[in-house]
A and B are shown apart, each in its own frame.
Chain A
Amino acid sequence: MAADSPLTPSNGLIAGRYAVDTAQVLLDAGGGLTAYLARDRLAADGRRVALAVSRDASPRIRHLKLLTDGIDNLMTPLGHGPALLPGGRTEGYFVICSPPPGPPVSASLHRWPERALIELVLRPIARVLEALQGRKLTHRAIRPNNVFQAAPGQPVTLGAAWAAPAAMHQPGVFESPYSAMCPPAGRGDGTIADDVYALGVLLLTLLTGKIPMANLDDTSVIRWKLDLGSFLALTRDSPQSGSFADLLHGMLADDPDHRPPPAQLLDPAALRGRRLATRPARRTQQALMLNDIAVYDARMLAFALLRDQKQSIQSLLNGMVTQWLRRGLGDAGLAAQIEDLVRGRMSEPKAGSRSDPLLIMHTIGAINPRMPLCWRGIALWPDALPGLLADGIAGDASLLVAAEELLVNDIAADWSVAEMRQGSPGAPDILAHRALLGGPNGLLRLFYGLNPLLPCRADGLTAAWVADIPALMRGLERNAGKAAGSMIDLHLSAFIAARADRKAEMQVTSLAGMKNADSIRQGELALLRDMQARYHPDPVPALAKWVAGRLRPDLARWRNKPRREAMEVRLEALAQAGFLSNLLALTDDAAARAYDIAGAIRAANEVTAIDAEASRMERSDAQRLADAERAGQAMVGGLGLSVLILAAMSVLLR
């Protein structure tokens, strides 16, 4: 089990062949992520790129698993695993990729001719996206600093997008407004249409030689895009030819269904006839001021409702929103739909603290079905829940609260079912891991279960990348000298429950339910023993020494002192050998223990008998004196009788 894991170090090499040289930082190769030079020990041209993974943001494990063969014009992942970070004291996790052919296009941003864009950018990347789509994968990191070109006139190569959650490092302008309004960790894998959108923005950037809307913050970008539509908002100040405008118009469509698939992008000329007639959004001249946003249409209304839950609820309950929808926007159907939702909320006043966010969520979904799941002011796509949870665990309390509520109550399923939307294909199966929520520290267990490559966050293990049980055993071995009392803390128990097998999970669960300190100690030692037996066959002398210290109370229970001393000597010897099962077998020998107890009982009985006899001897002094007197007198009497008989005999026999 451990031998096949990428987490198992092999002489400091990742996947047995890649060595990370952390002394050589590749400044522009990571597309925003820290990148180091890596060398392939088995290849003549061994230059590779190692992308550093954050401890708080999971790499895209599906992509790392499925992208086993190379794709032209894409920095495909070649391997992944832990290696030492600069300084050599702490361990990091790296994704090894094929190297970029040159600098990123952002390094010298200039105007590209349309023909070059189509031949050198659009078609190569469309082929990459088509290949990814064929594997049910997305890229979600198409941006100027992650697209590389060897030399002018050469097709570009798409950078890596595997070392961080999908779209986490995407600038808001390169994302559709419905993705940009999510926190970076909440954007999810999305669909290939999201990549087409980002490619459209990239084409526009290269066409104009500047990043569109660069002077605006993300919220303004989203509002502009929602207000005008992405295409108009992005191309306001940039003239394009008619054909190229048609191409961008399709790629930047706000409705993902209206964007052309990658296969069609290979032949841009054919796209001219594809232009889909979209009904313009219904707008009103009479603005509704909601949460400091002037709302002119339904899309902006949905966005405004997301911004402040308290004011949004008030606006819904007092009828302001429905009134505006009827009288301002003239959409009586939508108004009636929202009134139904509000009535449902009013008829169930005791629905709990979730009734208001649920009302907002369903209302936003009804107003704009393209909006992501909106919960307590946070927008997210359900397939991003693992990343969101990781971000929350890393310190963002609001994200953690939202993620917990969504996962515990399975709100995402309610949202998806209600709005007839599904996550992207192959998204992490959260339902399969939800059983982890049932145990103690359920949220932490779920975090470790949903983010299988992220390391354990337990104190003392931060220097190493502990992402599986063999690594955990190595980490515990390193830290055993510093451990004081219990070793299995909150994070460790959750980590073991999520990453080990079912038996270990049950052991951890029962351990959490124990109240007695001795039971906890024994349960903990049994867990460590079983983990070594199943995951780490190598000796762990330091950990064994710590276990031996914890087993001393068991030895103290042995009553026979010579045997106890012999066992202590044996325990020391076994601790040096480093196998926990032998240590526990020594103290868990039930037959020997029963023999010891029986011997102790016999000895106690014998001591009691000795004490009783000694007591009797103390009390028998007077009786013994009387007996001695009787015996003495009888003996003197006997002597007298003998003398008498002798005297009589001497007379008679004279």
Chain B
Amino acid sequence: MSGMTKVGRGFNGLLVLLLALAGGVLIALSSDIALPVALLLLPGLLALLFDRSPGCGVARAILLFQVAACVHPILGAWYRCDGIDGCMADLAAWPALLPAWLAAAVAWLLTQILPLGLKMLDDYRMGLRRQALAERRRSLVEEWGLDDPA
């Protein structure tokens, strides 16, 4: 996080601002469309607001998972609904919301578990390296009679 540059932080801020503007425009022009969309993307939008990870990696992953999960409900609503209100009502119903929110939950869960897994793998690799180094050091100290500070 500390490695993020000023340009990166500015870009993130600009992204949030543009999304907020887009959201605001959508709400202003068509509040009946904006509400279901906001409901579908609610976890991702909330994550976007509160995510402090560099590049908003967690929010980005949640949003991508949510968007992927929203493709089929939106398509279904587009072809099967009866008017825009009916479409939006379908989208705001639990059968559409639940997969999107579950996808968000899975994404969040993956962003928590996968780093831990990677860290454990790295720890294992480090352990092997440390062991090899210790072995080499011991053999050098023994062979050359070097003073062992340890």
B residues near A, CB below 8 A? 1, 53-55, 57-58, 60-65, 67-69, 71-72, 75, 107, 110-111, 113-119, 122-123, 126, 129-130, 133-134, 136-137, 140-146, 149
- Which residues in B have their C-beta under 8 angstroms from that of A613? 133
Q: How far is the CB of A212 from chain B (nearest CB, A)?
A: 84
Is the CB–CB distance between B146 and A636 below 8 Å?
Answer: no
Option from A561, A617, A625, A637 in Cβ contact (under 8 Å) with B119: A625
Output the residue of B60, B117, B119, B149 with the most chain A CB within 10 A: B119
A623 nearest CB across to chain B (Å): 10
Apart from A630-B57, A644-B71, what are 18 other A-B pairs with CB-CB below 8 Å?
Answer: A559-B146, A560-B145, A607-B146, A610-B140, A627-B122, A628-B122, A631-B115, A632-B117, A633-B53, A633-B61, A634-B57, A636-B61, A636-B110, A637-B64, A639-B61, A639-B65, A640-B61, A647-B72
Question: B144 touching A559 by the CB < 8 A rule?
Answer: yes
Question: A561-B144, A630-B54 known; A635 and B72 CB under 8 Å?
Answer: no
Which residues of A are found within 8 Å of B117, using beta-carbon distances? Answer: 632
23 of the cross-chain contacts (CB-CB < 8 Å) are: A559-B146, A560-B143, A562-B143, A603-B146, A604-B146, A607-B146, A610-B137, A610-B140, A617-B130, A624-B119, A628-B119, A632-B111, A632-B116, A632-B117, A633-B60, A633-B61, A634-B57, A635-B114, A636-B110, A639-B65, A640-B60, A640-B107, A644-B64
Residues of B within 8 A of A614 (CB): 130, 133-134
Return B123 CB to nearest CB of chain A, in Å: 8
Least CB distance from A597 to B in Å reads 11
B114 in contact with A643 (CB, 8 Å) = no
* Residues of B with C-beta under 8 A to A561: 142-145
Instruction: Give, as a whole number of angstroms, the nearest-CB distance from B115 to chain A.
Output: 3
Given that A599-B144, A610-B136, A617-B130 are known contacts, is A636 also in contact with B114, CB under 8 Å in the complex? yes
The answer to whether B146 touches A640 (Cβ under 8 A) is no
Residue of B whose beta carbon sits closest to that of A637 = B61
Q: Distance (Å) between the CB of B70 and the closest chain A CB?
A: 9
Say yes or no: A603 contacts B144, CB within 8 Å: yes
**Contact at B64–A560, with CB atoms within 8 Å?**
no
Best-buried of A610, A611, A625, A636 by chain B (most CB within 10 Å): A636
For the complex, is A1 an interface residue (Cβ under 8 Å from B)? no
Q: How many A-B residue pairs have CB under 8 A?
A: 121
Q: Is A632 within 8 A of B71, CB to CB? A: no
Looking at chain B's contact residues, the main secondary structure is helix
Q: Give the distance to chain A from B30, nearest Cβ to Cβ, in Å.
A: 23
B140 touches A624 (CB 8 A): no
Please report the C-alpha to C-alpha distance between residue A604 and residue B111 in the assembled complex, in whole angstroms: 44
Complex-state Cα separation, A125 to B42, whole angstroms: 147
Q: Is A629 an interface residue (CB 8 A)?
A: yes
Contact residues, A283-337 vs B (CB, 8 A): none
Task: Judge whether A419 is part of the interface by a CB distance below 8 angstroms.
Answer: no
Q: Which of B62, B143, B144 has the most CB of A within 10 A?
A: B144
| Chain A residue nearest to B58 in the complex (CB) | A633
- Among A594-630, those with CB < 8 Å from B are 599-600, 603-604, 606-607, 610-611, 613-614, 617, 624-630
| A628 contact set on B, CB distance < 8 A | 115-116, 118-119, 122
Smallest Cβ distance from A606 to chain B, in angstroms?
A: 6
Asked if A533 is at the interface (CB within 8 A of a chain B CB), the reply is no
Q: A600 to B144, Cβ gap below 8 A?
A: yes
A651, CB-defined interface residue at 8 Å: yes
The answer for the CA separation of A604 and B63 in the assembled complex, in Å, is 54
A632 touches B114 (CB 8 A): yes
7 residue pairs, one from A and one from B, having the closest CB atoms: A640-B64, A633-B57, A632-B115, A632-B114, A644-B68, A628-B119, A647-B71
Quick one: given A559-B145, A613-B133, are A607 and B54 in contact (CB under 8 Å)?
A: no
Pairwise interchain contact A632-B118, C-beta atoms closer than 8 A:
yes
**Cβ–Cβ < 8 Å partners of B107 in chain A:** 636, 640
Question: Measured between C-beta atoms, what is the minimum distance from B47 to chain A in Å?
Answer: 11
The distance from the CB of A313 to the nearest CB of chain B, in whole angstroms, is 71
Instruction: Report Cα–Cα, A590/B62, bound state, in Å.
Output: 71
B55 contacts across to A, CB distance below 8 A = 633
Closest to B2 in A: A626
Chain A residues with Cβ below 8 Å from B71 are 644, 647-648, 650-651
Q: Which of A610, A626, A643 lies in contact with B64, CB distance below 8 A?
A: A643
Query: Chain A contacts of B72 at CB under 8 A?
Result: 647, 651
A401 interface hit (Cβ, 8 Å): no
How distant is A507 from chain B, measured CB to nearest CB, in Å? 33
Q: What chain A residues lie within 8 Å of B113 (beta carbons)? A: 632
Complex: how many Å from CA A231 to CA B71?
Answer: 157
Interface residue? A514 (CB, 8 A): no
**Cβ of A483 under 8 Å from chain B:** no
Question: A650–B75 Cα gap in the complex (Å)?
Answer: 11
Q: Given the complex of chains A and B, what is the CA–CA distance between A599 and B146 in angstroms? A: 12
Query: Least Cβ distance of A120 to chain B in Å?
Result: 86
Chain A neighbourhood of B67, CB < 8 A:
640, 644
B114 touches A607 (CB 8 A): no
Contacts of A636 in B (CB 8 A): 57, 61, 65, 107, 110-111, 114
B51 closest partner in A (C-beta): A633
- Chain A residues closer than 8 Å to B122, beta-carbon distance: 624, 627-628
What residues of A have a CB within 8 angstroms of the CB of B126 in the complex? Answer: 617, 624
Q: Is A66 an interface residue (CB 8 A)?
A: no
A641 interface contact, C-beta 8 A: yes
Residues of B within 8 A of A650 (CB): 71
The answer for the CA separation of A568 and B91 in the assembled complex, in Å, is 89
* Contact of A610 with B133 in the complex, beta carbons under 8 Å: yes
Least distance between A624 CB and chain B CB atoms (Å): 5
B133 x A643 contact (CB < 8 A)? no
Q: How far is the CA of A651 from the CA of B74 in the complex (A)?
A: 11
Decide: A607 and B141 in contact? CB cutoff 8 A: yes
